[in-house]
Amino acid sequence: MNKKNKFNILHIDAFKGFGGGQNDIVILLKFIKEYHSGKFDIFVIHNDNERLKCELDKYGIKNFSIKMTNFLDIAAIFRIRQFLKSYDIDLINFHSSLDHFLGGIAAVSIFKKKIIKILTRHVAYKVDFLKGYLIYNILTDRFITISEFIKERLVSDVGINPKKIETIYSPRIYGESSAGETEKDEVKEELGIKKEEKMVSLIGRLSKEKGHEVFISAAEIIVKIRKDIKFVIIGEGPLEKRIKDLIAAKKLQEYFILSGFKENINRFIAASDIIAVPSGLEGMGSIIIESCALKKAVIASDVGGIPEIIKNNETGLLFKNGDFFELADKIIYLIDKYDLIENFSSNCYNEVVKKFDAKIVASETALFYGKLLKS
């Protein structure tokens, strides 16, 4: 490895949308640039992603567009390869399967130096063994996982040596998160919820893994006991019609509000009395982090990386994955216990600030890069 005082780091992301993973890239690199610019020059290659480009440009992070269409995109491999050579890249950090494969092939060592290849694994989906072996073992030197659960999946699914994996949480806490009582009232009025009514929210993409059917089944039990609770579903996705049909079939229309996608999600988190996260699969759970940052009580399923944040009866409540009877019981149990809600909220806030502070995460990442580059 060369012994330069300053190293060139490239992040590649082929995803064309803008979600939690892309936000993580922006915030991570913002803080690395702000606090570690003496060690690294940072570059990003994206897949004609205008939203990501716009966000990176805000912080003066150098970024370039290379179109990546599929795993056989020879033109993309060639362009990435030229970029690696032109900008004397020392380390590449991948973020998805497509950029990982194309960039990994492009970085195959025909240069005088070896380029270190890192994959940040953001999701908890099971890894196909053959695909995992080919890409993860041959085209990857080291791994970053955003939760211990994802680390365990890489070890169990693909047989990755745990010594090659570093768990570094996502940089989700940066600046103050707040919402006043007036704004909370405004949100309730906007949704058609009375001030005295309770608001239990499920926020996330309308897709199978987010557990909307569990949430609806729990609500069906709750409304037999409590008529003063409104259940709010915020988000958009492929299951929208199915969710609406299920609510209608159970005759729960007067208790449910489907708001669609909302830009400023913090307003809706802050207006909620409880945030429900009935997901069947979560690497970590962005909405949990955001809710805890706003000191909101969370009731979540006991899957994936969720128990790394929500510790039952300490930073929130956990229920057995898929058990809508238990979810209903815990919502009813917690909804009026203001002191307990405040206690959970405060504990959870302290937990996420400790683990997800962007400055700390950037320092941990910079230290990890530095160790690899100087070894």
So what's the pLDDT on residue 43? 98
Q: Are residues 256 and 345 in the same domain?
A: yes
Q: Is residue 126 part of a domain?
A: yes
Task: Please tell me the distance from the alpha carbon of residue 75 to that of residue 85, in angstroms, as a whole number.
Answer: 16
247's enclosing H/E stretch is: helix 240-249
Closest CA to 119 of 89, 142, 150: 142
| CB distance 93 to 73 below 8 Å | no
Rg of the chain's alpha carbons, rounded to an integer?
Answer: 22
**E-only strand ranges, 106-255:** 116-121, 142-145, 165-167, 198-203, 229-234
**E-only strand ranges, 99-141:** 116-121
Q: Is residue 109 part of a domain?
A: yes
So what's the pLDDT on residue 1? 42
Task: Please tell me the distance from the alpha carbon of residue 188 to that of residue 201, in angstroms, as a whole number.
Answer: 12
Q: Is residue 16 part of a domain?
A: yes
92's enclosing H/E stretch is: strand 91-94
Q: Are residues 209 and 250 in the same domain?
A: yes
pTM for this entry: 0.85
* Sheet arrangement for strand 274-277: 256-260, 229-234, 198-203, 274-277, 297-301, 317-319
| CB distance 297 to 316 below 8 Å | yes
Q: Are residues 132 and 270 in the same domain?
A: no
| CB distance 316 to 337 below 8 Å | no
Q: Are residues 330 and 363 in the same domain?
A: no
Q: Are residues 118 and 195 in the same domain?
A: no
Question: pLDDT tens digits, the chain, 375 residues: what are they?
Answer: 445 679 999 999 999 988 888 989 999 999 999 999 999 999 999 999 999 999 999 999 999 999 999 999 999 999 999 999 999 999 999 999 999 999 999 998 666 678 999 999 998 888 777 777 778 888 999 999 999 999 999 998 888 999 999 999 999 888 666 555 667 889 999 999 999 999 999 999 899 999 999 999 999 999 999 999 999 999 999 999 999 999 999 999 999 999 998 888 899 999 999 999 999 988 888 899 999 999 999 999 999 999 999 999 999 999 999 999 999 999 999 999 999 999 999 999 999 988 999 999 999 999 999 999 987
Q: Are residues 292 and 226 in the same domain?
A: yes
Q: Are residues 70 and 161 in the same domain?
A: yes
- Beta-strand relationship, 274-277 and 256-260: unpaired
How many of the other CB atoms lie within 10 Å of CB of 147?
Answer: 26
Q: Are residues 84 and 29 in the same domain?
A: yes
Q: Are residues 71 and 41 in the same domain?
A: yes
Q: Is residue 1 part of a domain?
A: no
So what's the pLDDT on residue 181? 61
3-state secondary structure of 350: helix
Phi, psi of 117 (to 5 degrees): -120, 120
Q: Is residue 2 part of a domain?
A: no
CA 70 vs. chain centroid, Å, equals 24
Q: Is residue 267 part of a domain?
A: yes
3-state secondary structure of 61: coil
Q: Are residues 48 and 68 in the same domain?
A: yes
Q: Is residue 60 part of a domain?
A: yes
Q: Is residue 116 part of a domain?
A: yes
Domain housing 277: 181-356
Number of domains in the chain: 2
CATH at 256: 3.40.50.2000
Task: Count Cβ neighbours within 10 Å for each residue of 155-186 and write b for 16 or more, e otherwise.
Answer: eeebebeeeebbbbbbbbbbeebebeeeebee
Q: Are residues 109 and 215 in the same domain?
A: no
Q: Are residues 30 and 86 in the same domain?
A: yes
